[in-house]
A = this chain, B = another copy of it.
Amino acid sequence: MALRHAVLAALLDGEYSGYQLAKAFDVGVANFWHALPQQLYAELAKLEKDGLVAGRQVVQETRPNKRLFHVTDAGMAELEQFAAASAKPGFIRDDLLVKVQAADHIGSGPVIDQLDERAAAASAKVELFGNLLRQLRGEMDEDEFLLRGERIGPYLTCLRGLAFEEENRDWCLRIAALLRRRQAVAVEGDGA
C-alpha cells in the first residue's frame, strides 16, 4: 500500500475531490508523490470502502456534481500506524539517467536535447515551488513560520522538491555542456 497513505496525507489539508487531488498529484506539482487521476479515483473508492475517508456529495449547477473527501478517525489511525512503521529507502528511477549512462556508447545528440528539455522543466518547477513556498508561509519569514506555523508538512516536502529540482537543473545543464564539449573534442581528434 503506497499511494494510500499519500492520499490520506494530502487530505489532511482539507476536503478535496478526486479531480482536485488529481491536479495536486499531477506533473505540475507532485511535491511529495505522483499519481494519475485514474489511480486516485480507484484509491479513493478503496479508501472509502475501508472507512478511512468519507465523502460528501456537493451539488453544483453550472459544473458536474462532485464528491469532497476527508480523513476519518480510522484514517488518522492508519496514518499514524504507517508513520511508525519503518520506511524503505526511496530510489532514483529515471529514464534520463539510463540514457546518460549509455551516452558514450550511443549517439549523444538526442541525449543532449533531452538534458536541455529536462533542465528547462526543472527550472519551471523551481519557480513553481518557490512561489508555492512564498504562498504557504505568507507574511512570516521562513524561520518564524517553520517554528510556529500550524501546517508545515506541505512546506517541508516542498522544500525537498525544490532542492531536488535545483539539483536536477544544475546537473542537466552541466552534463549537456560537457557532452557538447566532448563532441567538439572528438571532431578535433578526427581532424588531427
Chain multiplicity (copies): 2
Which size bracket describes the interface of A in this complex?
35 or more
**Do B79 and A106 have beta carbons less than 8 Å apart?**
yes
Q: Is the CB of A159 within 8 A of B171?
A: yes
The A interface is mostly helix, strand or loop, or mixed, namely helix
- Whether A5 is near chain B, meaning CB under 8 Å from some CB there, is yes
Tell me how far the C-beta of A171 lies from the nearest C-beta in chain B, rounded to whole angstroms.
5
| B156 and A92 contact, CB distance less than 8 A | no
- Whether B92 pairs with A153 at a CB distance below 8 angstroms is no
B156, A163: Cβ atoms under 8 Å?
no
A110 to chain B: closest residue by CB: B84
Proximity string of chain A (88-131) to chain B, C-beta cutoff 8 Å, 1 when within and 0 when not: 11111111111111111111001100100110010000000000
Contact partner, A83, options B82, B94, B106, Cβ 8 Å: B106
Residue in B closest to A77 when the chains form the complex, CB atoms: B106
A80 and B106 in contact, given A90-B95, A159-B171 (Cβ under 8 angstroms): yes
Measured CB to CB, the nearest residue on chain B to A30 is B91
